[in-house]
Amino acid sequence: MKKVSESTVARLSVYLRLLSERESEGVEMMSSGELAKLAGATAAQVRKDLSAFGTFGKRGLGYPVAELSGVLRSILGLERHWRVALVGAGRIGMALLGYQDFRRQGFPIVSAFDADRTKVGQRRHGVTIRADAEMERALVEEAIEIVIVAVPVEVAQEVVDRVVRSGVRAILNFAPTKIEVPAGVALKNVNMALELEALSYALSAGRRGRRWAAGARA
Amino acid sequence: MKKVSESTVARLSVYLRLLSERESEGVEMMSSGELAKLAGATAAQVRKDLSAFGTFGKRGLGYPVAELSGVLRSILGLERHWRVALVGAGRIGMALLGYQDFRRQGFPIVSAFDADRTKVGQRRHGVTIRADAEMERALVEEAIEIVIVAVPVEVAQEVVDRVVRSGVRAILNFAPTKIEVPAGVALKNVNMALELEALSYALSAGRRGRRWAAGARA
């Protein structure tokens, strides 16, 4: 199994999305140039990325849309559904429970846990929130494969450690802090608040810069 | 204005979050060690990050929580609200419109636009969705400072170009594709689908690896 970089995997996801859109429009062939343009890559990069997984398409005709999207779906593990659990049913967690696209994309949230007793027993979008203390056993018994962590920063690492000890090998973290996982466990982070604050910083720094520059000229 | 790296800005956001939590608990001092532990950094890194903005705290006593959080809020531009517009009221866009934390965090979505006529005129959480064609003029007239782009991949770059031409200098992109912006425009990306697919890939590659290894032993 050739090692594939994270940025290559991200581009494969983008290619698949573009191919799927074309497929639904009934298009049969798509050129590396078109894929490149929409993915913000070069045609050479597209050809290099895809050549790692086999020989597709014919020079001048492009890639066969249905075949290539099937191959990418298989490479990315998207031919099946993954069993996903949510830990932390706060504001973000509740929004994620309600986000119907996870199921459509093959990542149905089938279990949810929270440490807040007032939330335990509540049912949201077909999932009943259970007590945090039941988490470890449930992760094992329900063969959960991916855990979404949406707990407060202060307990995030501890929750991730418990999740990892329960045998889960893939974590999507929404807590705005740096999380450590052992080798063999995949971790991805999503943080809207941090991204917005980075934009706020950039806008503020830009204004400070302009004000200072104006002052220097005055 | 000293140039501050993106990773430093992200850590400042994390420190601020931790300080705010402590502040709400009535804690007055917080050590670099405690900040470091919760932020996944070292105490030396915390001291270095914060020393760039002034002299805080006393050796052995730690940082004054209220003062330092005030300073960080100011550095990050969080003492004010930013005017945010949403372009694209699809599944993700609608979820973002409903996500109440943006307003609480100082990023209220005050305008929304969509190219789909059936969505125009719909009101969601106090915001009426308007026609895409009205976007440029509204961005200028309403002095929008940050635009959240949640449109399909194929039109994302075109929408961003129009947003930039309207004078907006900060963009949060949810479209799973690479977006180019000119110098002086800040761009951040959030993509749950890509992160989930990267986890799916990692789990699949791990299985393939184990299966192959088992085959080799057989």
- When comparing pLDDT for A5 and B150, which is higher? B150
Contacts of B97 (CB under 8 A, 6+ apart): B86, B89, B109, B112, B124, B125, B127
pLDDT by position in tens, chain A (length 218): 456 788 889 899 989 988 988 898 999 999 999 999 888 789 999 999 988 877 776 777 889 999 999 999 999 999 999 999 999 998 889 888 887 778 888 999 999 999 999 999 999 889 999 999 999 999 999 999 999 999 988 899 999 999 999 999 999 999 888 899 999 999 999 988 889 999 999 999 877 765 444 443 33
Please check whether the two domains, B6-75 and B84-194, share a CATH topology: no
CB of B9 less than 8 A from some CB of A: yes
**pTM for this entry:** 0.79
Instruction: Give pLDDT, residue A57.
Output: 67
CB of A45 less than 8 A from some CB of B: no
Q: What gap in Å lies between CA A22 and CA A107, rounded to an integer?
A: 23
Q: What is each CA distance from A155 to A99, A151, B18, B38, B122, in whole angstroms?
A: 24, 7, 12, 9, 39
Q: What gap in Å lies between CA A11 and CA A36, rounded to an integer?
A: 10
Q: Does domain B6-75 have CATH number 1.10.10.10?
A: yes
Q: What gap in Å lies between CA B179 and CA B160, rounded to an integer?
A: 8
Which residue is listed with tokens 């005017």?
A: B83
Which residue is listed with tokens 């180019």?
A: B180
Report domain extents, chain B: 6-75, 84-194
Mutation choice for B interface testing from A49, A149, A199 by most B CBs within 10 A: A199
Q: The domain A84-192 is classified under which CATH number: 3.30.360.10, 3.40.50.720, 3.30.1550.10, 3.30.530.20?
A: 3.40.50.720
Q: What is the ipTM of this complex?
A: 0.87
Instruction: Give pLDDT, residue B206.
Output: 73
pLDDT band at B5 (very low <50, low <70, confident <90, very high): confident
Residue B188 has pLDDT above 70, yes or no: yes
Task: Read off the amino acid at residue A72.
Answer: L
Mapping DSSP onto H, E and C, the string for A4-62 reads CCHHHHHHHHHHHHHHHHHHHCCCCEECHHHHHHHHCCCHHHHHHHHHCCCCCCECCCE
Closest residue on chain B to A98 (Cα): B95
Instruction: Give pLDDT, residue A140.
Output: 98
Q: What are the tens digits of pLDDT across the range B34-83?
A: 999 888 789 999 999 988 877 776 777 889 999 999 999 999 999 999 99
Instruction: Give pLDDT, residue A206.
Output: 73
Q: What gap in Å lies between CA A184 and CA A165, rounded to an integer?
A: 12
- Choose the closest CB to A6 out of B188, B198, B209: B198
Distance from CA of B194 to the nearest CA of A (A): 6
Task: Tell me, rounded to whole angstroms, the distance of Cα B196 from its chain centroid.
Answer: 18
In our burial notation (b when 16+ CB lie closer than 10 A, e otherwise), range A112-151 reads bbbbeeebbeeebeebebbebeebbebbeeeebbbbbbbb
Instruction: Give pLDDT, residue A177.
Output: 82
Closest residue on chain B to A188 (Cα): B195
CATH topology classification for B84-194 = Rossmann fold (3.40.50)
Q: What gap in Å lies between CA A51 and CA A110, rounded to an integer?
A: 36
Give the pairing of strands B63-64 and B29-30: antiparallel
C-alpha closest to that of A169 among B153, B2, B198: B198
CB of B94 less than 8 A from some CB of A: no
- When comparing pLDDT for B137 and B98, which is higher? B137
Instruction: Give pLDDT, residue A193.
Output: 85
Residue A180 burial class via C-beta count within 10 angstroms: exposed 0-12, middle 13-18, buried 19 and up = exposed
- Which residues of chain B are within 8 Å of residue A101 when distances are taken between CB atoms? 91-92, 193
